[in-house]
Amino acid sequence: MIVPVEKLLQMPEFSGKSEEELKRKLKAVEHLIRSYTHNNFQNRAIRFWGNSVGDTIIGQPRFFKVADTVQISQSAVNDGLYAVTEVAETFIRLDAQLFDVPENLVTKVEYPVDVQEGVIELMSWEVKNRQKVGIKSETLSRHSVTYYDQDAGNQVMGYPVSLLGFLKPYMKARF
């Protein structure tokens, strides 16, 4: 996961939110960031080929640890992001069931600290301001509300452009 759920649950703005809801939103933000930047944040130095059986990849997993995010690719049916729940000398166990396939390329995914902090800011904005999307200004006495245009100039993927500046160094060209 791009940011540990436990880290969010320690913050006051996320009190009252369920762990499942935060996991769901974090997965959505993670996929959104990967799509927007065209960057999969893989550490290609940490990868191995393995057979999948149930929720286990059998192979030689070196340098993996519990809670790491891994990306399975070149498997035809298991491609995607998973979290590591157990590591042994000859296998890793993941957080989801896989189809039994003889070859899966498993690569560790590592997000830089500034991307993780940016995700925390996005999640905080989501909790505090999502219901106010579109409001530019609001006056209480005599009640006046001004809405701004929601176009490509001031928002990206449903978030204000100013919140997504942290992704600029990680953008990759798409051909």
- Structure confidence by residue, pLDDT tens digits, 64-114: 999 999 999 999 899 999 999 999 999 999 999 999 999 999 999 999 999
pLDDT at residue 149, rounded to an integer: 54
pLDDT grade, residue 133 (50/70/90)? low
Calpha distance 86→67 (Å, rounded) = 8
Name the β-bridge partners of 105. Answer: 49, 73
pLDDT per residue as tens digits for the range 16-70: 889 999 999 999 999 999 999 999 999 999 999 999 999 999 999 999 999 999 9
Going by the DSSP 8-state scheme, the letter that residue 133 receives in this structure is: T
Count the Cβ atoms, other than its own, within 10 Å of residue 75.
Answer: 20
* Residues 8 and 29 sit within 8 Å (Cβ to Cβ): no
- DSSP of 29-83, one letter per residue? HHHHHHHHHT---EEEEEEEEEEEETTEEES---S--TT-EEEEESSSS--EEEE
Query: Hey, what domains does the chain have and what are their CATH numbers?
Result: 5-39+112-170 (no CATH), 42-109 (2.40.30)
With 90 as the cut, is the pLDDT of residue 140 above it?
no
Calpha distance 86→55 (Å, rounded) = 10
Name the β-bridge partners of 139. Answer: 144
pTM of the model: 0.82
Q: Which helix (H) or strand (E) holds 129?
A: helix 113-129
pLDDT grade, residue 136 (50/70/90)? low
